Amino acid sequence: MHPSTHAYEHGTDQLLRPLLLSLADDDFMLGYRDSEWTGIAPMLEEDIAMSSVSQDEIGHARALYEISVEMGRRATSDEEYGGSPKTIAREVDALAYGREKTEYHSSWLAEHHRGDWAFTIARRYLYETADEVRLEALSGSACTPLANVLTKVRREERYHTMHLRTWLDRLAASPAARPRLLAALHSLWPDALGFWEELEGEDSLVASGAMPLSSEAMRERWLTRITAELEEHGISGPDAGLTPRTGGRRGERSPGFEEFWAEVTQVYRLHPGATW
């Protein structure tokens, strides 16, 4: 079966939804959280850099939401896809801001408040390295629109990880900053492991080739990589017996999400569907 035909088959959109939305929601939540540094980061230069990174993440989320919107339309209509840019944007917004909280698939790792700079760097490091492994694997997805978008996304992500690694080096090397970094990593390990929680319908996603690797296989790959990298800084990886904190992929939201989401959707909710 030709992969692109396969991707648009009736019913496939429902199968692919948890995969597409877990990717999109992660980028969306993290993009929002890190955009909270805009205007108040510790240095003007980093303020500008962090704004760019968070805009990239939201841009990636938008591209992924668009795939989901497009697939949903194709699945419910035999006609060629013909939405105007405005209509697509409105549907993307509905997906981004208008779902019930239990309908989001984001990881808790992505949802947390930015915390202090050490927390932001530690979280981003765990997230970016995990995302790197995930995007690498999904570039070979049988879902062609996804694989195509990820090629572009990965180009931008390279710069994010470069930026992140510079900060990891700096914080790890500074006697005053190192304890903050270690504390942040320590508090984040359960969520970083939970990032790899099995997706809804994962068996079928793997069997259809939409996911070339299972979440568990990707987690192992990621752990091997970052354990080696952290070791260079004299930092140990997560304890072997540590329980991953899961739930995000099944619609459970992290502590603090309620308040955050009330703020994010405050204006949107005034008139859902209105043009602003």
Binding footprint of another protein on the chain (CB under 8 A) = 32, 35-36, 38-48, 51-52, 54-55, 58-59, 61-62, 65, 89, 92-93, 96-97, 116-117, 169-171, 173-177, 180, 260, 263-264, 266-268, 270-271, 274-276
In the bound state with another protein, the residue whose beta carbon lies nearer, of 46 and 220, is: 46
- Return phi, psi of residue 270, to 5°: -55, -45
Q: How far is the CB of 134 from another protein (least distance, A)?
A: 22
- Spatial CA neighbour of 19 closest among 154, 209, 253, 257: 209
Q: At 236, give phi and psi (nearest 5°).
A: -90, 155
Rg of the chain over all Cα atoms, to the nearest angstrom: 19
The phi and psi torsions of 104 (rounded to 5 degrees) equal: -85, 150
Is 234 in a helix, a strand, or coil?
Answer: coil
User: Helical H runs in the chain?
Assistant: 3-8, 12-35, 44-76, 85-97, 108-111, 117-138, 144-173, 178-194, 202-207, 215-232, 257-264
